[in-house]
Structure 1
Amino acid sequence: MPLVLSQQLAVAGDSSTTPLPPASTTTQVDGYILTLAGEVMAGAAHTLTVTVSKDGSPVTDLQPYLDTYAHLSAFHEGDLALAHLHPMGATSGAGGGPTLSFEAMLPKAGSWRLFVQFQTAGVLHTAAVTLPVS
């Protein structure tokens, strides 16, 4: 069971935000296509999968970055609540992918902006996508 800690912070400055891009199940970065699958519901743990491909082929050479094959940071539209997730399973050298499974437990319904970081050939990639949470 994942542990979720939260604390509201007050930060000085302009708090205006711009609307998020529309929700999608795919996104692209540096020639890679990331496809999301799974329905995430607020307050409950659900599996969210991210599949990485390039040029129509599954990517199987993900490298560990900070001891895991990917980092997923999610920000809630409106109040910028944050969740940081790692894929489930062991990391054992280069050769991760193409599918990464995350136990996603997001506390609030609404739109979340996801940033998925993964590394190939020593290069760190960051993909962004909007996910609706019911």
Structure 2
Amino acid sequence: MAYDGLGRLTDVWLADRDRATEQIPSTKFEYTVQRELASWVATKSLNNDGKSYTTSYAIYDALPRPRQTQAPAAVGTGWVITTTKYGTRGWQWKPQAITPTPPHPAARWPPRSLPLRRVLRRCTTV
């Protein structure tokens, strides 16, 4: 495993990957903490080809509680998006699975490019 200067996990090599022989990690994590826009973590999972990654995102609110997850759909070219809302007491309220309406702004991701409110406006509830 590898960590950044803040002690956050950045790379993971599973038993089938060898870090000593400079094989690429099984999973990579990228962190972005922002003041004006939602903070997020990108998780890159190694594909079966052993060379490319599939990226999913976890977006957090200011507290930092999980607010939304985004992952590529298993079939097709869309994204599976799950949103969690919180009540006035801070308890989880009304998690939703939503699917993006075409065209989805996936080409403009990572999500740092859009405020969370704009992302939610482009989606419909399933």
**Structure 2 length-normalised TM:** 0.31
Larger radius of gyration, structure 1 or 2?
2
- Higher RCO (CA-CA < 8 Å; seq separation 6+): 1
